[in-house]
Chain A
């Protein structure tokens, strides 16, 4: 178990917990977080380096309990697990939607450190729900904003804004994380343009270590083969943007 170093608000019902520990995590990987007596769930790493951290939205009982934790409180952390993003090329286009910005933010920082130039579209329902906008700018990325209601930047989906940016520039690779319908659209854009894509997916996860089959997508596992998949895998996923497994292992519509 690890002591919490800090817990801060990063938006409406969105908080970040950090630790005095590197955990040797890389962007795109995740940890299993245990709130004793309440629940255990997967969390994307949103800060790498000496003080790793994760960012979450308060949604249910587990995250509500997590939000009440103070510095010094102990929570269980196992991991990091899974395959993260890799920096491929000099000109990168990144598309992040909503909480999908959590694993993307440390990747943007990593890519800039590797001297790649990054153009990023950050999308959210409204301006108040944009995550890590300043952080991406401070890292050195060229930031574009899309909101569903037009309260800031482009009015519409992040994928639509990304489509118009793709017409103007040339990119070596694309990266995305966010709602799965958005990921499916970005995959279509990337494959039409012939640009390689890495996307981070989410599924119901129980073990986190590749044994229980609950996070299966077309015979692969988000916890061990992912969460970041390349376009080769993504194009073969018939369930992408369409179906996922519920807690009983029944296929349900997304």
Chain B
């Protein structure tokens, strides 16, 4: 019997589609709506120690091939967010708490608070490209990635996922560092650092000038990153970047992802994107004789040593 269920580090997901961090996940009630629409798990907005309003507008630029955003990590702060986690948990799907911080100690402390709030796993945002002093600015060297993962692993009991930046010459070494530091899984990729300029205004559109590109344009980059990481580490990979169809998800899965995340696809397809991707996945699996998602993970590496 063909089924979509996956197991990621002990988290049982009814299907491999997970809501990516930053999209429709600031309030518990909205996260419930996303779960009701079919997501197998939810990653929350990245949460920091203190409330943060994020960057001033414009914070998004719409393109025909993707989206550039510079939200700037807006969030109500960990203390307030506990109640949103409680609300999100009513959905019954695993809730993965995303955290960001400016040092390994701050990230470890937040991860522990996320665990106490009830999160089933913690995702470390080591990759946001548009927040000074956070995200990619501390997640671009293997040494720091390893150190942060080790500190967090020591402080928590739930699985920890390290979300990596593609804005590096060697994402596989970041993944290896995460694995060495004790991360239970890696998530790839975050957005690609990007910019859009309005010629008439003679200036970048985003108030923050720089943002992160997501959507269909980044999918080939994300698939390549997952493929490279699969050959470098043994821990599970969660693939993300430009997925809005079953075939998009299959590329990531066959490159080596055990599950996928969807963010910008919610913009183009609406919340129906989760059910759509799952239906298309199931159809492909039935047609091609795959009994489970796990049977397809990394098959694009066949014939390679």
The answer to whether B76 touches A250 (Cβ under 8 A) is yes
- B residues whose Cβ falls under 8 Å from a Cβ of A: 22-27, 29-30, 32-33, 45, 51-54, 56-60, 62, 67, 69, 71, 74-77, 80, 198, 200-201, 203, 205, 207, 263-264, 266-267, 270
Interface of chain A, main secondary structure: loop
Across the interface, do B53 and A247 meet the contact criterion of CB distance under 8 Å? Answer: yes
Residues of chain A touching chain B, judged by Cβ–Cβ distance below 8 Å, are: 1, 32, 34, 36-37, 39-41, 74, 76, 78, 206-214, 216, 218-221, 224, 245-250
Q: Complex: how many Å from CA A213 to CA B69? A: 14
Specify which chain B residues have a CB less than 8 angstroms from the CB of A34 in the assembled complex: 57-58, 205
Q: Which residue of B lies closest to A213 (CB)?
A: B26
CB distance from A205 to the nearest CB of B (A): 9
Contacting residue for A248 out of B25, B53, B203, CB 8 A: B53
| 9 A–B pairs (Cβ distance < 8 Å), ordered by A | A1-B200, A206-B71, A207-B59, A212-B23, A213-B27, A245-B27, A246-B53, A248-B74, A249-B45
Q: Is the Cβ of B77 less than 8 Å from the Cβ of A74?
A: no
A246 to B57, CA, bound (A): 14
Known: A213-B27, A216-B30. A74 touches B201 (CB 8 A): yes
The listed residue (B57, B62, B80, B200) touching A209 by CB distance below 8 A is B62
Among residues of A, the one whose C-beta sits closest to the C-beta of B199 is A1
CB distance from A78 to the nearest CB of B (A): 7
CA distance A206 to B26 in the complex (A): 13
Q: Which residues of B contact A219 (CB under 8 A)?
A: 27, 29-30, 32-33
For residue A72, give the distance in angstroms from its CB to the closest CB of chain B.
12
> Within the assembled complex, what's the spacing in Å between the Cα atoms of A235 and B92?
25
Contact A214 to B74, CB < 8 A, known contacts A1-B198, A36-B198, A250-B80: yes
Give the Cβ gap from B133 to chain A, nearest Cβ, in Å: 18
Smallest CB separation, B72 vs chain A (Å) = 10
List 4 additional A-B contacts (Cβ < 8 Å) besides A213-B45, A221-B30, A247-B74.
Answer: A76-B58, A209-B60, A248-B77, A250-B76
